[in-house]
Each structure stands twice: as C-alpha cells, then as structure tokens.
Amino acid sequence: GEDVEQSLFLSVREGDSSVINCTYTDSSSTYLYWYKQEPGAGLQLLTYIFSNMDMKQDQRLTVLLNKKDKHLSLRIADTQTGDSAIYFCAERKGSARQLTFGSGTQLTVLP
Amino acid sequence: NAGVTQTPKFRVLKTGQSMTLLCAQDMNHEYMYWYRQDPGMGLRLIHYSVGEGTTAKGEVPDGYNVSRLKKQNFLLGLESAAPSQTSVYFCASSHQLNTEAFFGQGTRLTVV
C-alpha cells in the first residue's frame, strides 16, 4: 500500500525497547492497527487504536498516534527473541470495508 | 476451534492453468477477504465479501474471481494463471467491519 509506509527492517538487542514507525496519508482514517506475522504464518492482530485516541498501552505494547503528522508507532518494551517477526501497520479509512496495509517491518531481535 | 483454514498450503501451476483456493471459517463471520502478499508491498486486497452471496472488488481484482455461496466458505479462482500471480495468498474473516480480522495460514502459489 502506497498510502501506508513503514521502514523495512529493524534490529534490536534482547531486553531493549523496539519502536516501529508507520506513516499514513488519509486523515479520514478511523482505526489504525498493528499486526504481527511470524514465519510461515498468517497475520495476528496485536493491537489497534481509534483515531480519537493518542495513546494505548497493552502490557509490553504501547501505541502512539500523532494525527497531525499522520504518524503511528508501536513500542515493544523488553523485546524478546519471540518478538522477531514482521509487523504490519494498517489503516481503515472512514467507512471503508477493507484495510490498507503497509509493506511491513522485519524486526530482528539479537541475543 | 479451527478459525480460518486455507487449502491448499502450497501449489505450483503452469502458465494458463486454472485453480481454486478454498477458505473456510467456523466463526460465523459475515466478512471474508482475500489478500495477496508480495515482497516489499504488504498485503493487497483482491476481493472481499460482506455476506453470503455477495462479493466485491478490492485493490487488485484483475485475473481473479470469487464466490461466496455459503457463509463459511470464500473461494478464490484463477482462470488462467500468469507468472505475475506468483504470491502468498491470505484469506481473512471478521464478524463486523471494525472488529478483529482473523487470518488463515496462507497459500504459497508459484506460477511457472
């Protein structure tokens, strides 16, 4: 999806925090999502945030939304090797019935 | 609870051959989707369905057809496969529009 952009790769050391960034272009986006894809598997919803929120925390995950800059980030605290995966940002525009996905960020956690 | 099941998991086709990918969900979801995943491009929506008997085009529908004859099944057909259709195909379903979408394990299709 051209409308949603992510950097392709991120490497962190085990125990550090990871921050995965995403930018989107449509100001009418209502919901923004983070999905995780492990090797050989489908996508799993990690968390989502409604556009009238600016932060959401769920255990080790923190989502920050800057609507002015159309910037979304996912912070993973105390990153573990099991967090190694591809992380997709996705947006739902207005009343659209489908999601628009970014290209995914490959997170590699080094021991 | 199986969730979303895709068959087959892998397939190699020759150019011009046809095939059907099957997606089945046991969660009584209304919405079902077919995506393709290509390197560096994320997931792109091919077709989707908002209920039994309905289908609609997504972002990249050309070369594909779909059918939703039963609520639990969503079929994706390739009438004449082309190398450009080499991809990983994911099916997903959701109960309502803004609720979580559950994904299948994917079908890796290679067209030679």
Among residues of chain B, what percentage have pLDDT more than 90?
Answer: 85
CA distance A97 to B76: 18
Buried residues in B34-49 as b, exposed as e (16+ CB within 10 A) = bbbbeeebbbbbbbbb
CA distance A81 to A11: 11
> Per-residue pLDDT for B1 more than 70?
no
Confidence of residue A96 (pLDDT cuts 50, 70, 90): low
Q: Which of B6, B31, B35, B37 to substitute to test the interface with A, most A CBs within 10 Å?
A: B37
CA distance A105 to B54: 34
> Per-residue pLDDT for B33 more than 90?
yes
CA distance A101 to A33: 9
Per-residue CA distances from B56 to A2, B67, B106, B108 (Å): 21, 10, 21, 23
CB-hemisphere CA count at 13 Å for A5?
A: 8
pLDDT of residue A1: 42
Q: How far is A83 from chain B (nearest CA, A)?
A: 18
Between A30, A31, A104, which is nearest B42 by CB?
Answer: A104
Q: How far is B67 from chain A (nearest CA, A)?
A: 18
- Contacts with A, B 20-79, CB within 8 Å: 31, 33, 35, 40-45, 48, 50, 56, 58-59
Confidence of residue A94 (pLDDT cuts 50, 70, 90): low
Which residues in chain A have Cβ-Cβ distances shorter than 8 Å to B45?
98-99
Work out the mean pLDDT of chain A and round it to a whole number: 90
